[in-house]
Homo-oligomer: A and B are copies of this chain.
Amino acid sequence: MTERPLILITNDDGINAPGIRTLISIMNTIGEVVVVAPDSPQSSMGHAITLNSTLYAERVYIDDGPQIEYSCSGTPADCVKLAIRELLDRKPDLCVSGINHGSNSSINVIYSGTMSAAIEAGIEGIPAVGFSLLDDTWNADFEASKGYVKTITEQVLKNSLPNGIVLNVNVPNILKKFIKGIRICRQAKANWIEEFDKRKNPQGKDYYWLSGKFVNLDGGEDTDEWALEQGYVSVVPIQFDLTAHTYIKDLNTWNLND
């Protein structure tokens, strides 16, 4: 690549979140950066897109740059669509999403706005990575993430990614000196055991708050959960062809056309 790569940045915590500000500062050292990110937090939005209401995108100036930034009223997936179709002059060489405040490991990838943005870029044929730090507080410390985010980004630009695959990167919330390195992993089989907190509103009507406990059901030592617990940065290759190809043969034995 002779010219500097064009890098599209988005996230789901909103354009002012410390995580995306960190990501912007790293990407400014690698390429030409355009940010199109939600104007407000969009966590756990999954792969939502905005079909039934209008979208706004406004040029904003949050720091001294040199990146170009747009604040968008939509979801992370909306941001990527709008960037590619309307706001960018050319197709970006890379899309990075994050750094998310909180884990997107294991089954959380399904609910993740951060990863939906990366997947949306992947659908458009753009190499894409979602980055997350296992600390969901606004004041999360992204210092230890910086070097790993840079290394992985440079390797994606060097090696590219095949069509249909994006990367899901999670960084453990420990001091840099305790991080053991980067591990390529599979998504752990884990899920949330939800607990609904049932309350009564001032009018006496029942309502619920969703909360829950994350349970790793997977004993494998090749999973993202295992790697993160051991102090590794986890990298999971993610596909958006959801077909369970190995099960097609079994389904063909069912009596569906009798």
In the complex formed, the residue of B with least CB distance to A207 is B54
| Cβ contacts A174-207/B at 8 Å (1 or 0 each) | 0000000110111101010011101001000111
Decide: A55 and B242 in contact? CB cutoff 8 A.
no
Residues of B near A124 (CB, < 8 A) are: 191
- Measured CA separation A210–B116 after assembly (Å): 17
| CB contact between A210 and one of B81, B162, B257 (< 8 Å): that residue | B81
Decide: A196 and B54 in contact? CB cutoff 8 A.
no
Decide: A186 and B110 in contact? CB cutoff 8 A.
no
Return A4 CB to nearest CB of chain B, in Å.
Answer: 21
Decide: B81 and A194 in contact? CB cutoff 8 A.
yes
In the complex formed, the residue of B with least CB distance to A222 is B248
Residues of B near A240 (CB, < 8 A) are: 107, 110, 242
Decide: A208 and B110 in contact? CB cutoff 8 A.
no
Decide: B237 and A248 in contact? CB cutoff 8 A.
yes
- Which residue among A110, A165, A182 has the maximum number of chain B CB atoms within 10 Å of its CB? A110
Q: Of residues 33 to 91 in A, which have CB atoms within 8 Å of B's CB atoms?
A: 41, 43-52, 54-57, 77-78, 81-82, 84-86
Asked whether any CB of chain B lies closer than 8 Å to the CB of A241, the reply is yes
Decide: A44 and B48 in contact? CB cutoff 8 A.
yes
Decide: B152 and A247 in contact? CB cutoff 8 A.
no
- Measured CA separation A209–B74 after assembly (Å): 11
- Which residue among A49, A78, A201, A235 has the maximum number of chain B CB atoms within 10 Å of its CB? A49
Asked whether any CB of chain B lies closer than 8 Å to the CB of A29, the reply is no
Q: Which 5 A-B pairs have the closest CB atoms?
A: A46-B47, A46-B46, A239-B244, A237-B244, A186-B243
Interface residues of A (CB under 8 A from B): 41, 43-52, 54-57, 77-78, 81-82, 84-86, 107, 109-111, 116, 119, 123-124, 151-152, 155, 159, 162, 164-165, 168, 181-182, 184-187, 189, 191, 194-196, 198, 201, 205-210, 235-245, 247-248, 251-252, 254-257
Q: Give 8 new A-B contacts, CB below 8 A, not counting A86-B208, A237-B243, A238-B243.
A: A41-B52, A44-B49, A46-B77, A47-B111, A48-B48, A49-B111, A77-B111, A151-B256
